[in-house]
Amino acid sequence: MTLPAIDLDTLRTRFARALSDMYRAEVPAYGELVALVETVNGGVLEHDPALRARLSATGGLERLSQERHGAIRVGSPAELHGMRRLFAGFGMKPVDYYDLGVAGIPVHSTAFRAVSDAALAASPFRVFTSLLRTDAIADTALRETAERTVQRRSIFQGRTLGLAERAASDAGLGESEADELVDGALETFRWHTEATVSAGLYAELAARHPLIADVVSFKGPHINHLTPRTLDIDAVQARMPLHGIRPKAVIEGPPRRACPILLRQTSFRAIEEPIDFTAADGRRETGAHTARFGEVEQRGAALTPKGRALYDRLLGEVPERANGSTAGPGAHAHDAALNEVFAAFPDDPDTLRREKLAYFRYRRTDAGSGVARTATDRTAADLDRAVESGEIVAEPIVYEDFLPISAAGIFRSNLTGGVARAEPAAARTDFEAALGCGVANGFALYERLERESVAHCRPGASDP
């Protein structure tokens, strides 16, 4: 069998780079943010040679500079199904289900990403994809109008979905078709200044929730933000104002730690962009839309179910603790409470590993006689001894996914107007039916990565 000229990992890399270039042209502040992140990351690596060595040994250094996640919002089950087909052509699968309706955001979501170690190392690009919950529109007539508006549009170009399906089935494409697929996907995510609704309907939708207007009123699901990864989000947050960027007051997620866990995110307010409406009599009207914003993230260790349960419990204690804090109002009280509460979460890799709070990747070293490497065929205690002897190194597996409370916090901080609360609903079944497949379980994927890494440490095993 002849292999395609452009494999899925290369296709995904090309698409991520092209999307980044397009978004930089559309949102100039994104370019400022990327430059700031690169400066901060360079400073961290210069002052922490051990971290540089660890990242270099695991391929993390190469992926750091290119790592991004994007976010889009679609308006119908049919559009979500099309997105699943499109992302499959870039080697990306839906992982985990997030219902943001319980946090007052009328969407439910998944993240499309690569799932294998090799694919993640080649291109860790992710797209957080949300489907509008039209049940958040209580007004029946307005809800039906919104649904009809979405049904009239076609967000995919010509042969784009067909090419994506061929790429998925053949594990790649030829050079010219690869270019055509990337170009077609870019058109789906491009910003369009022409609204597909009147100024009056836009105002009605925005009054229900600004996100509803964002999803319904345009030709397609324009990329909402692209997010670079930093090694020190606190430094980026502190330096944003020096670059003319005003960040949100609070960094979402866990506090600053010696051993980072899960995901920390911050953002700057969305830009106001001009849009053109067409009135019923054909006249053009000019307005403005505010939805797209800048975001930066710092990723830490993926937690096990035990670790995630501890994280969720501690996070739940923060609001009450903040209300009783003497640290002052707002962000200061939140940060003080967050640090105080999370003192109960172990903050060194060895404890996280031994207490099975986080997932780890194991790899052999050249140290020792090699006798202890047989330990991985027996018990966890034997594996611990191999780690202690230096024959095996254990490193936290990077968390590749998202936190629903943090995502909701970012969304809320970049939307104007009131928040219409969508009623909680057991909607996962409907969401997966629209996708045309189930979403993968993130915990199972991390457990598999850890198990595979242990297997590669056994005598005679080849390097992964």
pLDDT recorded at residue 256: 93
What total of structural domains would you count in the chain?
A: 1
Q: What is the pTM of this model?
A: 0.89
In-domain check, residue 240: yes
Distance CA 170, CA 41 (A): 37
Paired sense of beta strands 126-132 and 107-113, if any:
antiparallel
Which residue type is seen at 140?
Answer: T
Residue 224 predicted with pLDDT over 60: yes
pLDDT recorded at residue 17: 93
In-domain check, residue 18: yes
pLDDT tens by residue, 378-430: 467 778 888 888 889 999 999 999 987 765 555 554 444 444 444 445 588 99
Question: Which domain CATH number covers 260?
Answer: 3.10.180.80
pLDDT tens by residue, 56-85: 877 777 778 777 889 999 999 999 999 999
Provide the residue range defining the domain that includes 114: 6-298+417-425
Is the pLDDT higher at 5 or at 305?
Answer: 305
Contact 200, 400 (CB under 8 A): no
In-domain check, residue 51: yes
Nearest to 104, CA basis, from 75, 133, 143, 128: 133
In-domain check, residue 23: yes
pLDDT recorded at residue 76: 96
Mean pLDDT of the chain: 86
Percentage of the chain exceeding pLDDT 90: 53
pLDDT recorded at residue 384: 85
Half-sphere exposure of 49 (CA within 13 A, CB side): 0
Question: By mean pLDDT, which of 257-261, 305-309, 373-377, 400-404 is the weakest?
Answer: 373-377
Residue 376 predicted with pLDDT over 80: no
Residue 208 DSSP label: H
Residue 440 predicted with pLDDT over 80: yes
Distance CA 383, CA 402 (A): 30
Contact 214, 191 (CB under 8 A): no
Q: How confident is the model at residue 290 (pLDDT cuts 50, 70, 90)?
A: confident
pLDDT recorded at residue 28: 83
Percentage of the chain exceeding pLDDT 70: 88
pLDDT tens by residue, 145-163: 999 999 999 999 999 999 9
Paired sense of beta strands 93-99 and 107-113, if any:
antiparallel
Work out the average pLDDT over 336-358. Answer: 94
In-domain check, residue 340: no
In-domain check, residue 439: no
Q: How confident is the model at residue 316 (pLDDT cuts 50, 70, 90)?
A: confident
Contact 123, 69 (CB under 8 A): no
